[in-house]
Amino acid sequence: MKKTLGAVAAAAAIAISLSACGGSAPASTEAKGEINYWLWDANQLPAYQQCADDFTKANPDIKVKITQRGWDDYWTTLTNGFVAGTAPDVFTNHLSKYPEYAAKKQLLSLDDAVAKDGIKLESYTKGLPELWVGQDGKRYGLPKDWDTVGLFYNTAMTDSAGLTAEQMANLDWNPQDGGSYEKAIAHLTVDKNGVRGDAAGFDKNNVAVYGLGLAGSGSGQGQTEWSFLSATTGWSATDKNPWGTKFNYDDPKFQETIAWWAGLVEKGYMPKLETTVGASLADNFGAGKAAINTTGDWLIGQYKSYKGVKTAFAPTPKGPEGKRASMFNGLADSVWAGSKNPAASVKWVEYLASTACQDVVASKGVVFPALTSSSEKAAEAFKAKGTDVSAFTTHVKEGTTFLFPIADKAAKVDGIMKPAMDAVLSGKKPASSLTEANNQVNALFK
């Protein structure tokens, strides 16, 4: 009796190990069954739910189960899922995260699918598809959307300050005196007694409305905080992008930019960093505590939803050389290498990247899809809602975007840069202290 039990156990063990080995080869070549899909943005959930319903209608054998998780828990849950074998088959991926997953062989390469199913990469907004080609030359995601950064401003405040939409759209900036951008911020700042930031007798310790809101120090990327300024000086975060291995936080051009930006706090035009802990940039704007916010186009809907506040959008200011700049970030959908249903998963990713789904997303007017044609439809959908989004699309039209810095060890770089940037912005350390942080970051790549 004992022997037979042992034999059965051994056979079962072999069967399990065989099926485990099967993970590297397609576990199921047939495209059917249920697949799990994760995303983090709740605003986009309705659009993708509709995509999933349409997809199942066209492919009755495949069911898609969508799970939305907040950004903070998304990545740790995903990593744990990789280890435990419970990760979703398909998930929304981010440029700062995918290099590590690709290096750890957790992502399925999509090159075969692209070749076999004839996906036209040139129909996506220029630059987006290449972002998802890893260091090994393999493609790990199909682009779903893109975003740029702009100035969100309270029109009641600009009106009372005598600033026209025309003026707001044509601000210029330089790291020395801040240009007309700083002048506008100063003029929009109002203290408790109603004195403007650029007038005599301004009390910087009792500010009622800050000219510029503050979300945080921006860590090493400053996507919505300072990258649109530093990039106009010709600075870039890494020696090459993607896959830079040498960071440039020691560059005087960068440190000047940060010094100027941090100086706004000292002048009383921007809130102190310590007041931002636990606070929401957008909610403070909605509560009328700031006149301008710099943030990304994915928040248009939220800013438009505040009652009694009219928000308009202006492109980021022109830099010293007369050109604007905005970080260009794009999301994509990736397939987990451990998926038990790779065929169906790939099919779903292809559908997510197709005109059919991206047009659905466009019609909701919440985000700009990656396909050029769908992106134009999204702009129209925004327009139909009464929102002028040219501040965001202008960067793409005029080619003034630059890429999100894609590098290995992003979490470790962040672990060094966030405290370092916090220290500068809170006035604890001078901008020159970033040279030391830069040395630490570069040491990670030796």
Partner 1 sequence: MTTTTARGAAPARKATGTGTGNAAPRRRRRPRSDLKVALLFIAPALLGFVAFYLVPSIRGVYLSFTEYSVLGDPTWIGIKNYTAIFADDLFWNAMAVTVQYVALNIGFQTVIALGLALLMHNVAKSTLIRGALLLPFLVANVIVALLWFWMLDYQLGIVNEVINWLGLPRIAFFGSEQWAIPTIAGVNVWRHMGYTALLIFAGLQSIPNHVYEVASLDGASPTRTFWSITMPLLRPVLVLVLVVTVIGSFQVFDTVAVTTGGGPINASRVIQMYIYQKAFGESDFGYASALSVILFVILALVAFVQMKFLKGNESDLD
Determine if 122 is a binding residue for partner 1 (CB under 8 A): no
- Burial-class residue 309 by CB neighbours within 10 Å (0-12, 13-18, 19+): middle
Nearer to partner 1, 210 or 351 (CB): 210
Determine if 422 is a binding residue for partner 1 (CB under 8 A): yes
Determine if 427 is a binding residue for partner 1 (CB under 8 A): no
Q: Give me the 83-102 binding string for partner 1, x by CB under 8 A, dash otherwise.
A: x----------------x--
Nearer to partner 1, 166 or 274 (CB): 274
Nearer to partner 1, 32 or 412 (CB): 412
Tokens 């750890």 locate to 104
Residue 57 φ/ψ, nearest 5 degrees: -65, -40
What is the rounded distance in angstroms from the CA atom of residue 174 to the CA atom of residue 296? 22
3-state secondary structure of 106: coil
Interaction with partner 1 in 255-294: which residues (CB under 8 A)?
272-279, 284, 287, 289
User: Residues near 396 by Cβ (< 8 Å), separated by ≥ 6?
Assistant: 125, 146, 148, 328, 375
| Count of positions (residues) in the chain | 446
Q: Taking Cα atoms as reference points, which of 269, 259, 294 lies closest to residue 198?
A: 269
Residue 146 CB, nearest distance to partner 1 (Å)?
Answer: 26
Nearer to partner 1, 276 or 339 (CB): 276
Before 242, cis peptide (omega within 30)? Answer: yes
**DSSP at 180:** H
User: Residues near 206 by Cβ (< 8 Å), separated by ≥ 6?
Assistant: 191, 192, 193
Per CB under 8 A, which region of 18-26, 360-368, 395-403, 407-415 contacts partner 1? 407-415
3-state secondary structure of 294: strand
Interface with partner 1: number of residues (CB under 8 A): 29
Nearer to partner 1, 164 or 280 (CB): 280
Nearer to partner 1, 15 or 83 (CB): 83
Interaction with partner 1 in 4-63: which residues (CB under 8 A)?
none
Q: Give me the 344-383 binding string for partner 1, x by CB under 8 A, dash otherwise.
A: ----------------------------------------
What is the rounded distance in angstroms from the CA atom of residue 446 to the CA atom of residue 32? 46
Residues that bind partner 1 (CB under 8 A): 76, 79, 82-83, 100, 104-106, 272-279, 284, 287, 289, 411-412, 414-415, 418-419, 422-423, 426, 428
